[in-house]
Structure 1
C-alpha cells in the first residue's frame, strides 16, 4: 500500500475506551506526514539527479565512441599518409637514380666525343705541321735553287 503525506494527515482511527490521546496521535501523524513529504521531495530530487547523471553518462559514452572512431580514423589516415609518403619517396629515389644513370651515360658519351674531337684535333695538328714542314722544305729548296 502506497501512502502519501496527505493520506497520513487525514488518517482517522476509531475510538476506543482506553485508547491513545487523539491530540498526540494527530501530532505524531503530522510529524510523520511532514517527514514523509520531505523524504518524497528528496527522493524526487535524487531521481531527477539520477536521470540527469544517466543522460550525461550517455552523452559521455557517445562522445567517447565518437572520439574512439575519430582516433581510429586518424590512425588509419596517418598510416595511409605514411605509406603514400614512403611510396612517393621511393618513386623520387628511383627517378633520381634513373636521372643519375642517364646523366652518367650522357657524360660518358660526351667524354668519348670530346676525346675523339681531341684526337681528331691532334691528328689535324700533326697533319698541318707535316704539311707546313713540307711547305717550308719546298721553300728552302726553292730558295737554294735561286741562290745557286
Structure 2
C-alpha cells in the first residue's frame, strides 16, 4: 500500500513536453491529504470494529451466562417441583391412612355402641322380668295375710 509520504516524495523525470510540475505537485499533495484522511478513518473504523467485536464477545458471554443461569433455574425448579410432588404424595398417603384408621375406629365404635345397646336392653329386660316376678309375688296372697316381705312387717327402721 502506498503511503501519503511516498506520494508527497514521488519525483518524476522532467521531459520537454509534459505536465506542469506545479500542477502535478498540487495534485499529488491533494491525493496524499485524502489518502492520509482515508488511512486515519480506516484506523478509526478498525478501532471501532475491535471495540464492537469485544462488546459482541462480552454480550455473547453474558448471554451464555444467562442461558446457564436459566438452565440451572429450570433444574432447580424441577427439583423443587419433584420435592413438592413427593411431599404432597406423602401428605395424601398419610391423610388416606388416617381416614382409613378413622373409618375403622368409627366402625368399631358403631359395633361397640350396638353391643352396649343390646347389653343394656338385655339388662333392662332382665330387670323388668325381675320386677314383674317380684310384683307377682307381692300380689299373691300369703298365709295369714302376712306381708310377703319380712322387712315390711317389721316396720320402718329409722
5+ residue gaps, structure 1? none
Q: Tell me how large the CA RMSD over aligned residues is.
A: 2.2
Q: Which has more radius of gyration?
A: 2
1:91 Cα deviation after fit: 1.0
Asked if 1:52 corresponds to 2:35, the answer is no
The equivalent of 1:31 in structure 2 is: 30
C-alpha separation between the residues in 2 aligned to 1:73 and 1:131?
85
1:89 Cα deviation after fit: 1.8
Moved over 6 A (4+): none
Asked if 1:105 corresponds to 2:97, the answer is no
C-alpha separation between the residues in 1 aligned to 2:10 and 2:100?
107
Deviations 1:109-145 (A, max 9, x none): 1111111111111011101101111121122125896
The equivalent of 2:79 in structure 1 is: 80
Query: Does the residue aligned with 2:35 lie in a helix, a strand or coil?
Result: helix
Deviations 1:75-119 (A, max 9, x none): 212221221122112111211111011111111111111111111
TM-score by length of 2: 0.80
5+ residue gaps, structure 2? 147-158
TM-score by length of 1: 0.85
C-alpha separation between the residues in 1 aligned to 2:52 and 2:75?
34
Point out the more displaced range, 64-73 or 15-24.
15-24
Query: Does the residue aligned with 2:140 lie in a helix, a strand or coil?
Result: helix
Q: How many residues align?
A: 146
Point out the more displaced range, 115-124 or 83-92.
83-92
1:16 Cα deviation after fit: 4.5
Closer, same or farther: CA 39–62 of 1 in aligned 2, 3 Å: same
Larger relative contact order (Cα-Cα within 8 Å, sequence gap ≥ 6): 1
Closer, same or farther: CA 50–122 of 1 in aligned 2, 3 Å: same
